[in-house]
């Protein structure tokens, strides 16, 4: 199994966002979605944490003359309703619950934001996949202080973003966009659904292998 040519576990520190870090330069692209991520990081992430709505973590490269912000991700507590999980999967989960207590919701963690610096994007870095692997390991570790069965994400409804989460074994919470539109009460005249709800079962997940590089 090949190692990442740029391994964040070796080259970076992963720390909570601080006022000093938020002042670091950070650009992740030129699209409207990219600008939304940048605005959240610079202007909203700290107030978001102060209100106990989510915690932002930063991937920092300190190996050069100046610290570089490689990426950030924001995590929040969440839950997932059993009515939205495929029935076959629900039955499989409930068969193993001690006492056969059937729950209406299961504990989850929401990946609210995930942004990668423009300087660290591309297959030669694979930062996004490394962060997803990091979060998976974080919450399946025996030292995790609370129960967490699922990871959930409101993924931007763009082919490149959806394919990224599909590669990382996330599944769609709703079968199609029309069902999601109805369940989320999105107006019929809305041009499109801005995000798609996706989930990952941590109990049956895998840490994806490093890709082969030549």
What share of the chain has pLDDT > 70, as a percent? Answer: 86
SS (H, E, C) the chain: CCCCCCCHHHHEEEEECCHHHHCCCCCCCCCHHHHHHHHHHHHHHHHHHHCCCCEEEEEEECCCCCCEEEEEEEEEEEEEEHHHCCHHHHHHHHCCCHHHCCCCEEEEEEEEEEEECHHHCCCCCCHHHHHHHHHHHHHHCCCCCCCCCEEEEEEECCHHHHHHHHHCCCEECCCCHHHHHHHCCCCCCCCCCCEEEEEEEHHHCCCCCCCCCC
Residue 140 has pLDDT above 90, yes or no: no
pLDDT (tens digit per residue) in 66-107: 889 999 999 999 988 877 666 766 666 666 666 656 677 889
What was the pLDDT predicted at 71?
97
Share of the chain above pLDDT 90, in %: 52
pLDDT band (50, 70, 90) for residue 214: very low
Query: Out of 24-38, 47-61, 174-188, which region has the weakest mean confidence (pLDDT)?
Result: 174-188
Mean pLDDT calculated for residue range 18-46:
94
CB 90 within 8 A of CB 103: no
Mean pLDDT of 205-214: 55
pLDDT of residue 198: 92
| Domains parsed from the chain with CATH numbers | 8-204 (3.40.630.30)
Look at strands 171-172 and 105-116 and give their pairing. Answer: unpaired
0.75 surpassed by pTM: yes
CA distance 118 to 183: 35
Can you give the pLDDT at residue 147?
A: 86
- Arithmetic mean of pLDDT, 54-62: 95
Q: Which residues contact 173 (CB under 8 A, 6 or more apart)?
A: 80, 84, 85, 152, 180, 196, 197, 198, 199
Out of 41-50, 129-138, 152-161, the most confident range is 41-50
């Amino acid at each position: 199994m090949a190692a990442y040519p740029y391994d964040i576990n070796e080259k970076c520190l992963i720390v909570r966002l601080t006022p000093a870090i938020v002042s670091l330069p950070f650009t992740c692209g030129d699209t409207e979605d990219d600008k939304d991520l940048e605005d959240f990081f610079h202007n909203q992430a700290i107030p978001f944490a102060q209100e106990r709505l989510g915690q932002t973590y930063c991937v920092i490269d300190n190996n050069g003359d100046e610290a570089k912000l490689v990426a950030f991700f924001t995590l929040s507590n969440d839950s997932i309703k059993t009515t939205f999980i495929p029935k076959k999967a629900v039955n499989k989960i409930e068969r193993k619950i001690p006492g056969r207590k059937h729950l209406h919701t299961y504990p989850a963690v929401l990946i609210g934001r995930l942004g990668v610096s423009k300087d660290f994007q591309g297959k030669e870095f694979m930062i996004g996949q490394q962060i997803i692997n990091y979060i998976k390991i974080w919450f399946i570790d025996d030292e995790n202080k609370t129960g967490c069965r699922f990871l959930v994400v409101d993924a931007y409804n763009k082919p490149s973003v959806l394919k990224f989460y599909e590669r990382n074994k996330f599944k769609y919470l709703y079968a199609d966009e029309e069902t999601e539109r109805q369940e989320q009460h999105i107006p019929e005249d809305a041009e499109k659904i801005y995000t798609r709800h996706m989930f990952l079962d941590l109990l049956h997940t895998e840490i994806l292998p490093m890709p082969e590089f030549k």
